[in-house]
């Protein structure tokens, strides 16, 4: 059985062929792919949108990789003739997409007339109402502070000029999907809203190997330290966590927040993101709340670096205002890092409040601060969450169970075309 995967970025194994750094995100994609490639009777081909001038082919460990030039007109798309050439070369039994967010995916699904499946990651059409991260953009736009006005204008421009366009392509992709693979009630609901005819399949991600081997210890934690995995866009909610840190700094003067990503003030002085947009807003808040000495940007972290940094912290926080099934929370849970999460999107399906994580309302920094204080003050509670979360995550992300599940899904698609198409 030949499966053609389409992915919106070069996988680490072939990133050198595209002349780019290894992508620190989407690690579950390669992990699942490598395990599936060992299953007898399956052949896997991977087409990746890449910054290259022509199609590049490489076979590594039995997996066939194709780097496809991204369009000069739309960096989220590829050219039609390249799309057709890849499909003709492979002639897959199933076209499978990891994610729905790009025009690249829509082009392949629109061109291919055979069997298909799409694995949901985020869903832009579900994220749209939360894209501003509950920031008071209207108030900022009419603020007397010019800096706030500029930040608001950039946020609004990004949403209406770029985000909305990608949403349309995503709706078309999901509408063309015969089979949808997801993990949560939230993604199933939003997929159903767009395409009620598709058959929905449930399958968890397989995490990167290092997270299964690394385990948090209450005795070795860095006291009063917090890790957050993303502060790049408003919907990740890092601004609420900054307010929580500001509230707690008097009671816990050694509180430290580690943020994965580059320090905004390290950007070149002519970089517009240093002046406007969400990065500038994070800078602005850090100065306004007088918490710069408590904030540490780690730079971009690869898997081993991420695991090492996260497991040293007292706790992990997911402050997003919307998520599907956030990988960083899964990684924290499987390492047993005590975790606090906003109660949003698909997170409700990942853990039990008070037993495996502590939940709070996403736009309530006071409640977030209190949940952080609870873990700072109570090692017994932290250890309980650690043990229970790790047990839950080891089950949900069991590699063999999820490989078997994907094989079952693919086999079902091949064997029962009528059932799949009609969604019965």
Output the DSSP codes for 346-405: GGGGT--BTTTBEEE-TT-HHHHHHHHHHHHH-HHHHHHHHHHHHHHHHHHT-HHHHHHH
361 phi and psi, to 5 degrees? Answer: -75, 135
Could you tell me if 43 and 107 lie in one domain? yes
Q: What is the CATH number of the domain that holds 122?
A: 3.40.50.2000
Could you tell me if 225 and 347 lie in one domain? yes
Distances (CA, A) of 141 to 147, 276, 286, 352, 395: 10, 12, 20, 39, 47
Separation CA 369–CA 390 (nearest Å): 24
Could you tell me if 101 and 235 lie in one domain? no
Q: What is the DSSP string of 48-94?
A: EEES-SS-EEEEETTEEEEEEEBPSS-TT-B-HHHHHHHHHHH--SE
Could you tell me if 224 and 351 lie in one domain? yes
User: Residue 72 contacts by C-beta under 8 Å, 6 or more apart in sequence?
Assistant: none
Could you tell me if 146 and 291 lie in one domain? no
The whole domain housing 62 covers 2-206+399-419
Could you tell me if 313 and 411 lie in one domain? no
User: Residue 412 contacts by C-beta under 8 Å, 6 or more apart in sequence?
Assistant: 420
Residue 257: inside a domain: yes
Residue 337: inside a domain: yes
Residue 34 has pLDDT above 60, yes or no: yes
Residue 285 has pLDDT above 60, yes or no: yes
CB 277 within 8 A of CB 239: no
Could you tell me if 175 and 221 lie in one domain? no
Residue 424: inside a domain: no
Could you tell me if 28 and 168 lie in one domain? yes
Residue 89: inside a domain: yes
Could you tell me if 384 and 260 lie in one domain? yes
Which pLDDT band holds residue 153 (cuts at 50, 70, 90)? confident
Chain segment 316-363, per-residue pLDDT in tens: 999 999 999 999 999 999 999 999 999 999 999 999 999 999 999 999
Residue 47: inside a domain: yes
Share of the chain above pLDDT 90, in %: 76
Residue 10 has pLDDT above 50, yes or no: yes
pTM for this structure?
A: 0.91
Q: How many domains are there within the chain? A: 2
Could you tell me if 182 and 290 lie in one domain? no
Which pLDDT band holds residue 154 (cuts at 50, 70, 90)? confident
Residue 20 has pLDDT above 50, yes or no: yes
CB 115 within 8 A of CB 3: no
Could you tell me if 11 and 153 lie in one domain? yes
Residue 413 has pLDDT above 80, yes or no: yes
Could you tell me if 175 and 275 lie in one domain? no
């Amino acid at each position: 059985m030949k499966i053609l995967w389409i992915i919106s970025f070069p996988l680490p194994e072939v990133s050198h062929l595209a002349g780019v750094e290894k992508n620190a995100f989407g690690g579950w994609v390669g992990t699942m792919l490598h395990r599936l490639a060992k299953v007898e009777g399956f052949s896997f081909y991977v087409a990746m949108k890449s910054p290259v001038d022509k199609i590049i082919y490489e076979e590594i460990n039995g997996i066939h990789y194709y780097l496809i030039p991204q369009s000069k007109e739309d960096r989220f798309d590829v050219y039609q003739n390249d799309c057709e050439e890849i499909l003709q070369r492979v002639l897959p039994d199933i076209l499978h997409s990891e994610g729905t967010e790009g025009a690249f995916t829509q082009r392949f699904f629109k061109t291919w007339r055979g069997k298909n499946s799409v694995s949901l990651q985020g869903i832009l059409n579900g994220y749209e109402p939360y894209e501003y991260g509950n920031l008071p953009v209207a108030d900022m736009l009419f603020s007397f502070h010019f800096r706030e006005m500029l930040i608001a204008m950039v946020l609004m421009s990004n949403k209406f000029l770029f985000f909305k366009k990608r949403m349309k392509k995503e709706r078309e992709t999901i509408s063309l999907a015969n089979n949808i693979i997801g993990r949560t009630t939230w993604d199933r609901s939003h997929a159903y809203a767009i395409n009620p005819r598709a058959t929905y399949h449930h399958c968890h991600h397989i995490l990167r190997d290092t997270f299964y081997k690394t385990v948090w210890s209450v005795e070795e934690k860095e006291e009063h330290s917090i890790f957050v995995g993303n502060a790049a866009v408003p919907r990740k909610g890092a601004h609420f966590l900054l307010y929580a840190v500001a509230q707690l700094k008097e009671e816990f003067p050694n509180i430290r927040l580690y943020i994965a990503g580059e320090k905004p003030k390290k950007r070149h002085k002519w970089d517009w993101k240093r002046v406007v947009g969400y990065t500038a807003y994070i800078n602005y808040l850090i100065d306004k709340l007088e918490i710069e000495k408590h904030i540490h940007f780690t730079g971009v972290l690869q898997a081993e670096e991420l695991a090492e940094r996260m497991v040293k912290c007292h706790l992990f926080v997911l402050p997003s205002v919307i998520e599907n099934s956030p990988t960083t929370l899964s990684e924290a849970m499987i390492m047993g890092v005590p975790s606090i999460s906003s109660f949003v999107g698909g997170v409700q399906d990942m853990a039990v409040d008070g037993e495996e994580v502590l939940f709070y309302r996403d736009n309530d920094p006071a409640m977030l601060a209190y949940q952080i204080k609870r873990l700072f003050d109570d090692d017994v509670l932290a250890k309980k969450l650690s043990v229970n979360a790790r047990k839950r995550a080891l089950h949900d992300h069991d590699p063999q169970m999820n490989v078997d599940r994907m094989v079952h899904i693919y086999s079902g698609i091949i064997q029962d075309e009528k059932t799949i198409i009609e969604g019965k």
